[in-house]
Structure 1
Amino acid sequence: MRLVIKQIGILCMLFCTTLLLAQGNDNSPKFVVRGMVVEADTHNPIANVNIEVNGGSYTTTDITGNFRIEARKGDELTIKHKDFETVYYMIQSNERIKVEVQPSIEDIQYSKKKYSRTNPELFKSLIDSAETHLKKDAKKSIQFIEKALGASNSSKENSEAYEVLGDVYLHWKQYDLAVSNYRISLQNISTNVVKLKLASAYKLNKNYQESLQIYNSINKKELSNWQLVELYEGLGDVYQLTKSHQSSINVYNEGLKIAQKHLISPKVTDLNSKIAQVYNAKGETQKAESFFNESLKLANNQNKKRAVEEKIKVADFQNETNNYSSEIQLRKEALKQIKDIQKDSVFNNESALTLQKQNYKIGNAYASQKDYVNAIPYLKKSIEEADTKEDLIVQKDATRKLSEVYKEAGEFDKALIAYQSYVDLVDKLYSKKEQEISQAARFSKDIVAKQNRILSLESDRELSESKYELNLEQAKSQKFIIYALIGGVVLLLIAGFLMFKYIKQQRLANNLLALKSLRSQMNPHFIFNALNSVNSFIASNDERAANKYLTDFSLLMRAVLENSEEDFIPLEKEIELLELYTKLEHFRFKDKFDYNITIDENININDFVIPPMLLQPYIENAVWHGLRYKKIKGFLEIVISQINPDEIKITISDDGIGRQKSKALKTENQKKQNSKGMGNINKRVSILNAMYKDKVDVFIDNFQEEEDTGTKVVVTLRKD
């Protein structure tokens, strides 16, 4: 029996640790931060500045430069605008913030000088090569653009080169550099195509106000039908990102009308899907489901890849609405289509169209239905696929889920093995992430260096320009170096934060281990005392009493074992356990005491939780060490009363011989056992209060001033 309890305790500790790792530790209250953004030299306010908190809140400054935004202590405030460098600020309190910014150096006005070319087709050939390598090798693509700029002899060609350079940075998620090069392209030749790209780059770089400004500045009459749909779709995306759901739906519908009118089928499908996502974000699931059904039907008439992409989106929606049966059916259909598509295409691990991700999500859906028999094979298959594709993230998540499923299915040995594999995968993933961060830093450094070379090339072509323009170019190069240095500092700060978080989580894990250990020590002690009572009935040849006692004892044991895995259980369950336990003790010592359990009828016991087996040892002490030695019949009273809406008091009082007399009657061995038992209770309360912010208080005192002083234990319990 001790081995089983210990095993359960270890598993609970491991899973609680996993849960704590998955959850955030930021439970601090939100407050409103006020601030304003002004120019450092003139103190003029700056309007439409993007203000964002890493917790998700977003706003902009008004015409007076002021803003208000909800945040927590420790959140990072990001202040972005096209006319100055991004400012980051760590929030410490609901202070008033004044941000003074230096205007950024204006974009260099690029020379319109013409350069001769020996080969008129050279520029076009170099641009074609850059576009060919755009998605394969960023460095090589930028090298071709650099050569193309050297071969350019017109503003139109300069504009095209910088447009392609912006496309390169956009694909490789260097959105700030993409914005810069699209703006340079527009300075040479202004086209609606590049304006749409610049607006999209601003959106991806979270410069939402700038994105809206560009979209709204485009003359819609000059756009083709496809471009007009793209414009409305982009506007809808920005409104959705800034939580303006109704505005997002309105512009998506405008785009949908044009797409339907001109039979632009891909966009009809995309916009139906996006409208469904916005309705889902608004909580209007019925409307969302209607649009998703339409997008799914339309996608099935397009190519296989688009059809399966939409099927997966709808499956994700079904998961959010807990419609697991529909989700499983859609994902199984998607699996077959993905296998067919993969014969001609290869998807990277970031894509949703991977077998390992869909197998994992099917297993997860089955697990949500508590259908563990079907969940386990899909999770295993996901792990195998992820291992083959070296997808550590999915492999880690699927292994963790498999461990949880085994635990829920009662296969604790397999659950422990799976959890150990999960821990190993976390270590591998951490190592891989470190390498990726290092690679990303090197990639960013190379990209900045190549961008600087391109800027230097442009400077060489403008030697006839004024000294002022040359100084501006040098200042821009220095700005990129500063960005690189800031990036390095940010990486160091992130590493320090992760280390701090890891240490804090380790402390929590140690507390959980200690808590499980103490609880596992208390259960055998309780079982031993109860079995002694059964033995005494058998010894006195009272078989009927022994059988009745044993029946009630088995019910009590079941309740104890069911609750042994939990840190807290509903108060209602603990009361049931106490009533059963007190009944058993009274059955044993009928001639020694009577008892009464009183619960304030105003208490909603479903609102409170309590550590399991917290009260039983105090009742046991009252009976065995107080009332049992009393010369006349005593009385045990348990009263549960309400102090305030968030706090209740549980009083356990007896008129027994009291703590001093009881201590005098004990043997040396009994003193050690009692001391250890009460010490365990105190340790449990201390650890739980450390983990859950002073949830439980225990006070012990004499009950009365008479000869039999008795004992009174008062337990105060607070809500979460």
Structure 2
Amino acid sequence: MRIVVKHIWFLCIMLSTTFMSAQVYSKSIDQEPRFTVRGSVIESDTRDPIPNVNIEINGGAYTTTDYFGNFRIQAKKGDELTIRYKDFETVYYTIQSNERIVVKVESNKEETEYKKKKLLRSNSNQFKSLIDSAETYLKEDAKRSLQFIESAFVESNSVKENAEAYEVLGDIYMFWKQYDLAVFNYRISDQNQEANGVKLKLAAAYKQNSNYQESIETYNEINKKELSNWELVQLYEGIGDVYFSTKAYQVSIDTYETGLAVAQKHLITPKITDLNSKIAQVYNAKGESQKAEGYFKTSMRLANTENKRRAVEEKIKVADFQSNRSNYLDEIQLRKEALVDIKDIENDSVLDNESALTSQKQNYHIGKAFALQKDYNSAIPYLEKSIEEADSKEDLIVQKDATRRLSEIYRDAGQFDKALIAYQSYVDLVDKLYSKKEQEISQAARFSKDIVSKQNRILSLESDRALTESKFQLTTEEAKRQKLIIYSLIGGLLLLLVTAFLMFKYIKQQRLANNLLALKSLRSQMNPHFIFNALNSVNSFIASNDERTANRYLTDFSLLMRAVLENSEEDFIPLEKEIELLELYTKLEHFRFQDKFDYSINIHESVHVQDFVIPPMLLQPYIENAVWHGLRYKKTKGHLEIGVTQTELDEIKITITDDGIGRQKSKDLKTTHQQKQNSKGMGNIKKRVSILNEMYKDKVNVFVDDFQDEEDVGTKVVVMLKKD
């Protein structure tokens, strides 16, 4: 009997356990306490235990269920528990505490019957039922929807039904943003049976996958005379979307207006609203804000005649437009109106955190608009409300942004104590967001793996079915045996080659996406690490009752923070901007240790710094190490030098030298505990350089060596940077 997971419920028995609080940057994951997790795996109908189920902790302990279906395994908070068995799908669960886990499974009689009837033909009603089920679960459960599609291919009797199944398969991948697989399946559907609806979907999938020329070609291949009025508007809207994406703004506007004329002629109200809104967005991107405002007014008026959700969506678009124009009063009024409508929408449906319609986002934007007008008293309540709502809905991104903005407001208002508290909360939220992103990367990788596996299984089923039908026909058509076998093998080989090519392309894109996420995660670690070090400097001035110096330092520090945080989302920034940041940072360090060292920054006159870009915060950790671990312990006053020279037309050399005590003496001065700790800043730099060189073909090279043959050998860091 084949068994699949019906549902999993967890009975948690929380034991009283107290964990010592500690900073994430000073404690490793391996220091988390381990505990015993108990659980069992049973069949839901009979409650019979299932023995010999594989139970594993990611990269750690392994065990199996006993005769009574029970298991015990050592784990720690945050570990991922994997439950595998031949008769049900693999189950994943993240351990939160020493909880009791019960996994209930039940038999799937329908799937068993589908397997038995694999070689038999089913009627059309059975196929349609499976297709309808796949469409029902399309937006809720991708894996279940794909299972219905898999069964539908077994029941398919004709080329037409194959085309319909591949179209729905493309719809599934389109919704779950697997655009390359969507293109692949729409193309197969179109090859089985040409249909204008499928061609429109294929063109839209090409656009989403950034195949803009293929998208335009597909749209132009469609015979406009065969389209319904709604499909014709869709075609012009799709072409306009492609030209907008390629920044061909005037062509985009002309195409949208052609579609708008068709929609107005045939009274297609939803599309009239959408196209007015899109024309407004193009004019805004083009810089013609007056024309954009006119179209936005029209779209907002039309949206108010439709349902409330559509009206709110358009209102928020216009609010964003007013924000970009610094019309904050109009923006605030629109967002306040939107908040009232959002409450009504939330009573009827659930808004996920990705939606622009969430109340926490609107409260944040209202608070931000008040802050930009320096109306801090009005801004604070909205930001606090945004933080509260984001916390209750676990929207870490909005909570982080609102907390950061609140800290800046307190700082600008001179309430430095509250600013510091809010900023510390912001740092904690950055860390939580980083942990969440790591989990999302892992889940996305697993989801992508499952999706590719299902696609290969469906292709295999289709190939098997085709081969089975060909064998059946060969029994009555002996003369065509060799010809059919050859065609079947060639078709299968071509299909496998296409699949292999698409899988390779998909894996390559996924690797690039993972590298970009890793870079973003490493940058999010660098900012809190750097900020904590700088705050320690402020703390030392306050501890010595030097409030005036602390205030001066904090003023320069806030300027540096603003610049650093503005660049935190970028992979590369202009070298000129990075040098300005280094000058400000070195000034701050010298401000504190001016009796320990002097510094100079020399840029050779032949260097055109505006021609080069560099990863943000790449050089700062080396300067920090030079000051804190070299020059600070020097008995006499030292010197820090930063030099930029050009070695080749497309390459420059950045040199950071100090005559401090050197790396070996600095290491000898560390305590035993300190020697066990790895430099987070330097570790992140190595990882970032490695990832960047993998992505951009050895763009950055770093060399570290002793500077001189003196008692204080100092340190020399050479960074070689290539032009794009």
Query: Distance in 2 between the 1:146 and 1:263 partners?
Result: 40
8 Å contact kept, 2:122–2:155: no
1:137-186 deviations in whole A, cap 9, x for unaligned?
A: 11111111111111111111111111111001100101001000000000
Shift of 1:487: 6.1
Which residue identity is paired with 2:490? Y
Report the Cα distance in structure 2 between the residues aligned to 1:506 and 1:525, rounded to whole angstroms: 24
Is 2:181 the counterpart of 1:177?
yes
In structure 2, what residue type is equivalent to 1:128? D
**Does residue 1:468 correspond to 2:490, yes or no?**
yes
Contact 1:311 1:330 in 2 (8 A): yes
Alignment of 1:333-352 (within 5 A): 333-352=337-356
Alpha-carbon separation, structure 1, partners of 2:363 and 2:195: 45
Amino acid of the structure 2 residue aligned with 1:390 = E
Structure 1 partner of 2:420: 416
1:365-384 aligned within 5 A: 365-384=369-388
Structure 1 residue corresponding to 2:237, chosen from 216, 233, 240: 233
* Structure 1 CA distance for aligned equivalents of residues 386 and 521 of structure 2: 30
| Residues 217-237 of structure 1: CA deviation (Å, up to 9, x unaligned) | 111111111111111111111
Partner AA of 1:361 in structure 2? H
| Among 272, 275, 281, the residue aligned to 2:276 | 272
Counterpart selection for 2:556 from 560, 566, 579: 566
- Alpha-carbon deviations, 1:356-381, whole Å to 9, x = none? 11111111111111111111111111
Letter aligned with residue 198 of structure 2: V
Q: Distance in 1 between matches of 2:390 and 2:276?
A: 32
Equivalent AA in structure 2 for residue 338 of structure 1: I
> In the aligned structure 2, how far is the partner of 1:397 from the partner of 1:323?
21
Contact 1:445 1:484 in 2 (8 A): no
Aligned pairs (5 A) from 1:292-331? 292-331=296-335
Change (3 A) 1:166 1:292: same
Query: SS at the partner of 2:210?
Result: coil
- The one-letter code sitting in structure 1 at the alignment partner of 2:367 is G
Question: What is the CA distance between 1:393 and its match in structure 2?
Answer: 1.0
Q: Once the 2 structures are TM-superposed, how far is the Cα of residue 567 of structure 1 from its aligned partner?
A: 6.1
Give distance in 2, aligned partners of 1:357 and 1:424.
20
What is the distance in 2 between the residues matched to 1:236 and 1:526? 59
1:434–1:134 CA distance, 2 compared to 1 (3 A): same
Question: How big is each residue's C-alpha offset from its partner over 1:268-318, in whole Å with a ceiling of 9 and x where there is no partner?
Answer: 111111111111111111111111111111111111010000000000000
Report the Cα distance in structure 1 between the residues aligned to 2:538 and 2:641, rounded to whole angstroms. Answer: 13
Alpha-carbon distance, 1:470 to partner? 2.2
Q: Does structure 1 residue 263 correspond to structure 2 residue 267?
A: yes
Q: Shift of residue 115 of structure 1?
A: 9.0
- TM-superposed CA distance for 1:476, in Å, is 4.0
Whole-Å Cα distance in 2 between the matches of residues 276 and 232 of structure 1? 16
Which has the higher mean CA deviation after the structures are superposed, 319-328 or 427-436? 427-436
What is the CA–CA distance in structure 2 between the aligned matches of 1:497 and 1:232, rounded to whole Å?
A: 38
Query: Given the superposition, is the C-alpha separation of residues 521 and 339 from structure 1 closer, same or farther in structure 2, using an over 3 Å criterion?
Result: closer
Answer yes or no: is 1:219 the counterpart of 2:223.
Answer: yes
Quick one: distance in 1 between partners of 2:510 and 2:227? 43
Cα distance in 1 for partners of 2:637, 2:534 equals: 15
Contact 1:511 1:687 survives alignment (8 Å):
no
Residue 491 of structure 2 aligns to which amino acid in structure 1?
Answer: E
Matched, 1:449 2:442: no
Contact 1:448 1:480 in 2 (8 A): no
- Out of 166, 169, 193, the position equivalent to 1:165 is 169
Q: 2:405: which partner in 1? A: 401
Q: Is the 8 A contact 1:130 1:144 kept in 2?
A: yes
Please state how far the C-alpha of 1:402 moved relative to its aligned partner. 1.2
- Cα 1:133–1:437 change in 2 (3 A) is same
Secondary structure in 2 aligned to 1:335? helix
Q: Which amino acid aligns with 1:129?
A: S
1:206 is matched with 210
1:525–1:419: structure 2 CA closer, same or farther, 3 Å change rule? closer
Name the SS of the counterpart of 2:348 in structure 1.
Answer: coil
Percent identity between the two aligned chains: 61
Q: Tell me, what secondary structure is at the counterpart of 1:461? A: helix
Change (3 A) 1:503 1:148: closer
Query: Does the residue aligned with 2:555 lie in a helix, a strand or coil?
Result: coil
**Is 1:117 the counterpart of 2:121 in the alignment?**
yes
Task: Select the residue among 519, 543, 554 that pairs with 1:497.
Answer: 519
1:130 aligns with 2:120: no
Counterpart-to-counterpart distance in 1, 2:187 and 2:543: 70
CA distance in 2, matches of 1:680, 1:163: 76
| CA deviation after TM superposition for structure 1 residue 117, in Å | 3.3
> Hey, what's the Cα distance between the residues in 2 that align with 1:401 and 1:235?
39
The answer to whether the 8 A contact 2:328-2:369 is kept is yes
Long gaps (5+) in structure 2: 1-117, 471-486, 560-582, 592-604, 609-631, 645-652, 655-724
Q: CA deviation at 1:496?
A: 5.5
Q: CA deviation at 1:488?
A: 6.8
Change (3 A) 1:409 1:286: same
**Is the counterpart of residue 385 in structure 1 residue 389 in structure 2?**
yes
| In structure 2, C-alpha distance between the alignment counterparts of 1:301 and 1:172, rounded to whole Å | 31
Give the Cα–Cα distance (whole angstroms) in 1 for the partners of residues 508 and 421 of structure 2.
43
Deviation at 1:116, TM superposition (A): 6.6
Q: Deviation string for 1:338-362 (max 9, x for gaps)?
A: 1011111111110011111111111
Is the 1:236–1:249 Cα contact (8 Å) retained in structure 2? yes
Question: What is the deviation of 1:501?
Answer: 3.8
Q: 1:359/1:183 Cα in 2 relative to 1: closer, same or farther (>3 Å)?
A: same
Q: What residue number does 1:254 align with?
A: 258
Q: Does the aligned pair in 2 maintain the 1:299–1:310 contact within 8 Å?
A: yes
Matched letter for residue 230 of structure 1: Q
Task: Give the match for residue 86 of structure 1.
Answer: none
Shift of residue 215, structure 1, vs aligned partner: 0.9
Deviation at 1:497, TM superposition (A): 3.4
Alignment of 1:467-546 (within 5 A): 467-479=489-501, 482=504, 486=508, 489-490=511-512, 493-494=515-516, 497-498=519-520, 501=523, 505=527, 509=531, 512=534
Change (3 A) 1:317 1:498: closer
Alpha-carbon distance between aligned partners in 2 of 1:385 and 1:502, rounded to the nearest angstrom: 24
Shift of 1:498: 4.6
Give the whole-Å Cα distance in 1 for the aligned partners of 2:398 and 2:330: 22
Alignment of 1:676-695 (within 5 A): none
Deviation readout 1:534-577 (Å, 9 max, x if unpaired) = xxxxxxxxxxxxxxxxxxxxxxxxxx9679613699xxxxxxxx
Q: 1:150 aligns with which of 147, 154, 178?
A: 154
Q: Report the secondary structure of 2:190's partner residue.
A: helix
CA distance in 1, matches of 2:350, 2:428: 28
* 1-structure distance, mates of 2:513, 2:253: 38
Task: State whether residues 431 and 525 of structure 2, in contact with CA within 8 Å, keep that contact through their aligned partners in structure 1.
Answer: no
Instruction: Give the whole-Å Cα distance in 2 for the aligned partners of 1:353 and 1:374.
Output: 22
Q: Which has the larger radius of gyration?
A: 1
After superposition, the Cα gap between the structure-2 partners of 1:261 and 1:115, relative to the gap in structure 1 and judged at 3 Å, is farther
The AA in structure 1 aligned to 2:129 is: S
- Displacement of 1:420 after TM fit? 1.4
Change beyond 3 A, Cα 1:479–1:127: same
What is the match of residue 4 of structure 1?
A: none
* 1:403 alignment partner, SS class: helix
Q: Which moved more, 1:406-415 or 1:133-142?
A: 406-415
